[in-house]
Amino acid sequence: MTVNRVGLVVHGGRAEAVAAARAVRAWCAEHAVGCADIDVWQEGARHSAREEMDSAGDPDLVVTLGGDGTFLRGARLAAENDALVLGVDLGRVGFLTEVPATAVRAALDAVREERIDVESRMLLTLRASCRLEVPAQMEALLRYGRGPMLPPPRVRTECEVGGDWGVALNVTALNDVVVEKLARDRQVSVAVYLAGRLLACYSADALLVATPTGSTAYSFAAGGPVVSPRAEGLVFTPVAPHMVFNRSVVAAPDEPVALRVLERSGQAAVSIDGQLRGVLSPGDWIGVYAAPRRLKAVRLGPTDFYGRLRERMNLTDAPAALADGQAAPLWPVRTPPPEDLAHLALPPGPG
């Protein structure tokens, strides 16, 4: 895997991330690999993923130095170019990031020497009844948020658009697409369709569609299931629905989840991976589906997703269970697994 150019996305508000960026630039200089900073927070306007990647000289590896938010911003850029993304963990939770800051040079060596795995993760994209835009007066309110907004998503010209099938928008979500109430005091009323069939009409604070990766983010906070990132599917989760049916539904990877704002509902905001991208008025709809494109994430070894879940989410054991005994490993890993277990995902065996 030849890496000719690295794009750096840095959490500029964190000194350790700024120091780690210096280490990446030094490594690139030593190995004659081009390196460009991608300043997604540039003063003034933010740019489309295409523009960011063009001005960084089309990197084939995006390195993020920060937390999960920084990784999500880097993933959006990497997906645009089918580039690899490597997350260096300099955040508060670090659920998505792969390597500690102390291992950044070793990680870059591993990429260069092709001692890595590339994990393919599902991304979501969408079609909408109209182009997504944020009204100009809302920009002023966003100064209470995280700085400048992304430009409106462009229409995917490579797709057939219009007619009953709506406008294909160039958005990719690694975590989730969220439709949420815009006014604090007015829930949204939304009809939800799975695989083209009406599931139910919801009145709720928000409705979200998550990937398996995003199942541990907002969907998890709203009571949704934890889904292995190796599984395929779309998780629909309502947030505070005022109705009896409040469960998540997990759709198959080829089943779209569509959300239509009902006639007398309040307006709704659309967020993609936590970033506000548009406003829906009554009658508007979005259809969310698995993108043909996937994220290519650098892995330095087998991912211990459940270990990370236990550790990063501070999962605690039942007090009575702790009093009743210690959890020993389920199966010994000192010998190769018997034939009937050989096809299963188990911790690495000897050697």
Ligand X SMILES: NC(=O)c1ccc[n+]([C@@H]2O[C@H](COP(=O)([O-])OP(=O)(O)OC[C@H]3O[C@@H](n4cnc5c(N)ncnc54)[C@H](O)[C@@H]3O)[C@@H](O)[C@H]2O)c1
Ligand Y SMILES: Nc1ncnc2c1ncn2[C@@H]1O[C@H](COP(=O)(O)OP(=O)(O)OP(=O)(O)O)[C@@H](O)[C@H]1O
Query: Which residues carry a binding-site annotation for NAD(+)?
Result: 68-69, 73, 175-176, 186, 205, 240, 275
Q: List the catalytic residue out of 37, 58, 68, 254.
A: 68
Helix, strand or coil for residue 108? helix
195: nearest Cα among 249, 256, 125: 256
CB of 218 to ligand X, least distance (A): 3
Q: What angle do CA 338, 342, 343 make, to 5 degrees?
A: 155
Residue in 60, 80, 89, 176 binding ligand X, rule: CB under 6 A? 176
Say whether residue 70 binds ligand Y (CB under 6 A).
Answer: yes
Assigned token pair, 221: 């906070």
Q: Give the interface size with ligand X as a residue count (CB under 6 A).
A: 19
Closest distance of CB 214 from ligand X, Å: 5
Nearest distance from residue 147's CB to ligand Y, in Å? 5
Answer yes or no: 117 catalytic.
no
Q: Considering beta carbons, is residue 77 or 192 the nearer one to ligand Y? A: 77
For the segment 179-198, give every residue that binds ligand Y (CB under 6 A): none
Contact call for residue 69 and ligand X (CB under 6 A): yes
* Using rule CB under 6 A, residue 39 touches ligand Y: yes
CA dist 218 and 285 (Å) reads 21
Helix (H) or strand (E) run with residue 23 in it: helix 15-30
Cβ neighbours, 10 Å, residue 35? 21
Q: Is the CB of residue 211 less than 8 Å from the CB of residue 174? A: yes
At which residue do the structure tokens 């948020």 appear?
145
Label residue 92 exposed, middle or buried (CB < 10 Å: 0-12, 13-18, 19+). Answer: exposed
Contacting residues toward ligand Y, per CB under 6 A = 10-13, 39, 41, 66-70, 91-93, 146-147
Contacting residues toward ligand X, per CB under 6 A = 67-69, 72, 91-93, 95-96, 175-176, 213-214, 216-218, 221, 273-274
**What positions carry a catalytic annotation?**
68
